[in-house]
C-alpha cells in the first residue's frame, strides 16, 4: 500500500507546484523588470541596496569623514582595505594628530560583504552605484579613496 500512497503524494505535490507556477504565470507583474543594458545607459539607475564598490565621499571643500581609525581595515576579512597613516602636527591645534596619507581599496580582492562599511564609526565609506569594472589590467582595480590634498571635516574626531 505504501507504493500507491507514495505515487499519490508525488502527483499531489507535483500539482501543488504547478499551481504556484501557474498563478505567477497568469498574474504576472505588468511593469517591465528586465533592463536592456546597452540600450538604456542614459536612464539606467541601480537599486539603492546595490553594492558596486566602496567609495569615500568628499564635499565641495575636498573634506571627508575618515579619521584613520582603521576599523574598516580590521573588519575586512580578506584585507582589501589598507590605510597608510602618520602622526602629523595639526596646524590649528599644534598637537600631533593621526592623519591618513592613503586610503587604498583593492576592488579585485573585495567580496562585497559590507563589513567595512558597518564597522566605520564616522560613516566615511559607502557603497557606490558603479558596476562597470571590466579592465585588462588588474592594477586598475586598486583605488585610492581619499583625494589628493583632502582633509578631515571639522567636528569629526576619533
Domain identity same for 83 and 59: yes
C-alpha to C-alpha distance for 74 and 59, rounded to whole angstroms: 26
Question: Cβ atoms within 10 A of the Cβ of 84, count?
Answer: 11
Residue 112 is part of which domain span? 54-152
State the cell numbers at 154. 571639522
Going by C-alpha positions, the residue among 28, 22, 64, 40 that lies closest to residue 152 is: 64
pTM of the model: 0.72
Q: Along the chain (158 residues), what's the average pLDDT of each consecutive run of 10 residues? A: 90 95 82 77 82 92 91 94 88 82 94 94 92 90 92 79
Domain identity same for 28 and 100: no
Residue 81, helix vs strand vs coil:
strand
C-alpha to C-alpha distance for 53 and 129, rounded to whole angstroms: 7
Structural domains counted in the chain: 2
pLDDT in tens, 20-64: 999 888 887 777 677 788 888 888 878 888 888 999 999 999 999
Residue 128 in any domain: the answer is yes
β-pair type (81-89, 96-106): antiparallel
Amino acid at each position: 500500500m505504501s507504493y500507491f500512497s507514495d505515487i499519490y503524494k508525488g502527483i499531489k505535490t507535483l500539482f501543488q507546484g504547478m499551481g504556484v507556477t501557474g498563478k505567477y504565470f497568469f498574474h504576472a507583474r505588468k511593469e517591465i523588470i528586465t533592463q536592456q543594458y546597452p540600450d538604456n545607459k542614459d536612464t539606467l539607475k541601480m537599486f539603492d541596496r546595490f553594492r558596486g564598490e566602496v567609495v569615500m565621499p568628499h564635499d565641495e571643500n575636498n573634506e571627508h569623514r575618515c579619521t584613520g581609525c582603521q576599523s574598516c581595515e580590521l573588519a575586512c576579512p580578506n584585507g582589501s582595505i589598507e590605510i597608510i597613516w602618520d602622526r602629523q602636527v595639526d596646524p590649528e591645534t599644534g598637537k600631533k594628530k593621526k592623519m591618513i596619507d592613503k586610503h587604498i581599496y583593492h576592488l579585485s580582492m573585495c567580496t562585497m560583504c559590507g563589513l567595512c562599511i558597518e564597522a566605520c564609526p564616522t560613516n566615511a565609506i559607502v557603497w557606490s552605484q558603479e558596476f562597470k569594472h571590466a579592465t585588462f589590467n588588474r592594477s586598475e582595480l586598486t583605488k585610492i579613496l581619499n583625494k589628493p590634498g583632502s582633509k578631515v571635516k571639522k567636528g569629526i574626531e576619533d
